[in-house]
């Protein structure tokens, strides 16, 4: 009798495991962006592992370019840069038109993974939040630069700017002429501050590192966004 009970218990456990596995498979098919092993597609919704997949593009320029092309993003490939221990070979600059609607001021040249991440940020966070909170779409984003051959603060570690895998965003210009500035509008309870906090939170889902005025005084006037490749299961930083 004991053997029969054990057999029944084992069958029940196996049945439960099977149900869990089948449920997981069904979920994967409906939400592939939430699985670490599925391929990145810029047409998919933003998922749990999207930021890590974007960061992984730092070692695959051809794939990054293919993703931009399939998504309808117009861009120009930049000449390689080599400077001391700095430089990049995967730089791109956005071109007007195509699937994007925002211009960068001044013109932005950055590593391809950052460009892909900025594209998703525009589509999934910046424009929806601007229309909802401010009643007008964003037509331009002001930036303080991407490539800069320098270290992080006073440390010996090289900044992600040294390979163009970072960008600093300072303000957003709306179609109605308003300018939303990180320096001037971050604090408070108004729609401008809410917008800036929400676009920061949206960036946290797309970039390996997102730093805002909440991090320290050095970031009082900009959002630092970078794609530090910390591995397929690496961590992200959101401050």
pLDDT tens column, 206-236: 999 999 999 999 999 999 999 999 876 678 9
pLDDT at 6: 61
Mean of the per-residue pLDDT values of the chain: 90
Terminal alpha carbon distance of the chain: 60
Give 148-157 pLDDT, tens digit per residue: 999 998 788 9
CA 215/CA 155 separation, integer angstroms: 17
Residue pair 199/133 in contact by the 8 Å Cβ criterion: no
Structure tokens at 187: 């604090």
SS3 of residue 2 by DSSP: helix
- Count of other CB atoms within 10 angstroms of residue 127: 16
CA 99/CA 48 separation, integer angstroms: 24
pTM of this structure: 0.87
Give 33-86 pLDDT, tens digit per residue: 778 889 999 999 999 999 999 999 999 999 999 999 999 999 999 999 999 899
* 92 DSSP 8-state letter: E
Average pLDDT over residues 9-23: 50
Give 172-194 pLDDT, tens digit per residue: 999 999 999 999 999 999 999 99
C-alpha closest to that of 163 among 51, 73, 63, 80: 80
Structure tokens at 119: 């594209």
Is residue 165 predicted with pLDDT exceeding 70?
yes
C-alpha closest to that of 195 among 94, 148, 127: 127
R_g (Cα) of the chain, nearest Å: 21
- The residues facing 76 across adjacent strands are 93
To the nearest 10°, report the CA torsion of 150, 229, 83, 64: -130
Is residue 22 predicted with pLDDT exceeding 50?
no
pLDDT at 14: 56
Which pLDDT band holds residue 25 (cuts at 50, 70, 90)?
Answer: very low
Average pLDDT over residues 98-112: 98
pLDDT at 27: 56
Task: Label residues 195-211 b or e (16+ Cβ within 10 Å = b).
Answer: bbebbbebbbbbbbbbb
Phi, psi of 172 (to 5 degrees): -125, 135
Q: 3-class secondary structure for 163-185?
A: HCCEEEEEEEEECCCCEEEHHHH
Residue found under tokens 């390689």: 80
């Amino acid at each position: 009798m004991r053997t029969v009970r054990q057999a029944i218990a084992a069958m029940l456990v196996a049945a439960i495991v099977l149900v869990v596995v089948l449920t997981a498979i069904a979920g994967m098919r409906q939400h592939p962006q939430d699985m670490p092993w599925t391929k990145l597609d810029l047409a998919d919704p933003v998922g749990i592992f999207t930021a890590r997949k974007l960061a992984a593009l730092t070692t695959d320029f051809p794939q990054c370019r293919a993703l931009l092309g399939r998504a309808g993003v117009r861009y120009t490939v930049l000449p390689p840069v080599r400077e001391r221990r700095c430089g990049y070979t995967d730089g791109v600059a956005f071109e007007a038109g195509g699937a994007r609607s925002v211009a960068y001021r001044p013109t932005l040249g950055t590593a391809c993974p950052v460009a892909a991440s900025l594209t998703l940020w525009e589509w999934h966070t910046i424009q929806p939040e601007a229309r909802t909170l401010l009643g007008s779409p964003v037509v331009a984003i002001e930036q303080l630069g991407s490539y800069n051959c320098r270290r992080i603060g006073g440390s010996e570690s090289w900044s992600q700017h040294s390979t163009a895998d970072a960008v600093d965003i300072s303000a957003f210009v709306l179609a109605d002429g308003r300018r939303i500035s990180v320096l001037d509008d971050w604090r408070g309870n108004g729609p401008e501050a809410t917008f800036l906090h929400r676009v920061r939170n949206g960036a946290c889902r797309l970039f390996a590192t997102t730093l805002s005025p909440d991090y320290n005084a050095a970031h009082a006037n900009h959002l630092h966004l970078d794609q530090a490749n910390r591995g397929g299961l690496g961590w992200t930083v959101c401050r």
